[in-house]
Amino acid sequence: MTSSEPPRTDPNPPPQRPDPPSPFVHSLHVKSERPGERGLPKSSVEEVELEAGGVRGDFNRYRHELLADEPTSAVLVMPLEMLETLRAEGWPVAPGDLGENLTSSGVPYEELQPGVVLAMGSAAAQITRPCDPCRQLYGLPYVGKDRGPEFVRTLLGRRGWYARVLRPGRVRRGDAIRVTRT
């Protein structure tokens, strides 16, 4: 080949795989204590303060009344990708609807297992156990009593993960999440 000829290129180059997206905090959710109300759906906020007992300003009646505020259930984490799967199945679930405090993006549901640590902002939380679906979900406007049992069955093994706060601190929407396994 002479210097005046263009370089030859492969007419069928191998496909380039995009890098997987870096995990980040998609959204954050809280609901303050309101007499007679449950902890869902939760409202979106721009930032939260994680404390040993959970998210400052958030009240979870189940955790408070039945679990005596045990620290292993301080925060509920749900991957956005699972919410998207549920929407594709016909359930109009929005971030915060299932009572989660933190909706992640880029962390596959199956990677969230007991012992996994999520570091974000100045805080860190360790996954402790899956959250089981309950009848409180019947209260969502698109569920109700008639569809409640079906929705609970749909969420078996897909309701999110409880976590304990290892390092208190501030978390903001959009913060990167560093995932480590212990």
126: domain CATH number is 2.40.33.20
Note whether residue 163 is domain-resident: yes
For the stretch 48-90, pLDDT in tens is 999 999 999 998 777 767 776 788 999 999 999 999 999 999 9
Quickly state the pLDDT bin for 181 (edges 50, 70, 90).
confident
Q: Is 114 helix (H, G, I), strand (E, B) or coil?
A: coil
Note whether residue 12 is domain-resident: no
Cα dihedral 114/116/20/154 (nearest 10): 20
Q: Is 123 helix (H, G, I), strand (E, B) or coil?
A: strand
The residue to which tokens 């679990």 are assigned: 67
Note whether residue 177 is domain-resident: yes
Its pTM stands at: 0.86
Alpha carbon of residue 107 to chain centroid: 9
80 contacts 95 by C-beta, under 8 angstroms? yes
Q: For the chain, what is the domain count? A: 1
* Mean pLDDT, range 155-176, rounded to an integer: 97
For the stretch 16-54, pLDDT in tens is 655 667 999 999 999 988 887 776 899 999 999 999 999
Quickly state the pLDDT bin for 4 (edges 50, 70, 90).
low
Domain of residue 88: give its range: 24-181
Note whether residue 54 is domain-resident: yes
* pLDDT above 60 for 11: no
Q: How far apart are the first and last CA of the chain?
A: 56
pLDDT, the chain, mean: 89
